[in-house]
Structure 1
Amino acid sequence: MAEKVFGFERDTFILHEDIFQLASMVAIGAIVIAVYMSYLFDLLKMANMVNLVGLVNLAQFSAQSRLLSQRSRHLANRLEKADGEQIFLVPYNLGLVP
């Protein structure tokens, strides 16, 4: 994914399981959300609205991947890169999956 999507460049691989999650209407993982947000970024770019919305990568913010201090620092770094008065979309799971 391009650097402009989440503020840093990264490789993302979609696995068979990711497609199955999406197609079977079960809880989706961080990869599926990241790919959707990349698609959303492309739509924002076509509408000339990229400077209005910032996206935060769920994998960098996930409670399963880092310590609280590291997650907080990542979010703070991303918000510091804000372009004016951007609105940020930050995916968050409350853990309320039935």
Structure 2
Amino acid sequence: MLTGRQKRFLRAQAHHLNPIFQVGKGGVNDNLIRHIEEALEVRELIKVTVLNNSGEDRNDVGRQLAEGAGAELVQVIGRVIVLYKESRERKTIELP
């Protein structure tokens, strides 16, 4: 579980990142979660966009992705979700 200070730090780090995944009308599925897990192992911090044609609530999508990938939900702002998971092999982000 992340503290408020750690979440603030991660939000600042994620500000300049571009979203690398999109959740569309297909919603959250096992294939998407697997790809997000792999990306988190490499990058530790990623952004995901929820498209307008997705019928799901963006907060629910964020929770599903975080639970499925074993990650922390840092922020849901607009249609962008920020996820963090500490890498086992390529740790680059030092939390305060």
Q: Give the TM-score, by structure 2 length.
A: 0.28
Taking CA–CA contacts closer than 8 Å with sequence separation of 6 or more, which of the two structures ends up with the larger relative contact order?
Answer: 2
Larger helix share, 1 or 2 = 1
TM-score (norm 1): 0.28
- The structure where strand makes up a greater share of residues is 2
Greater Rg, structure 1 or structure 2?
Answer: 1
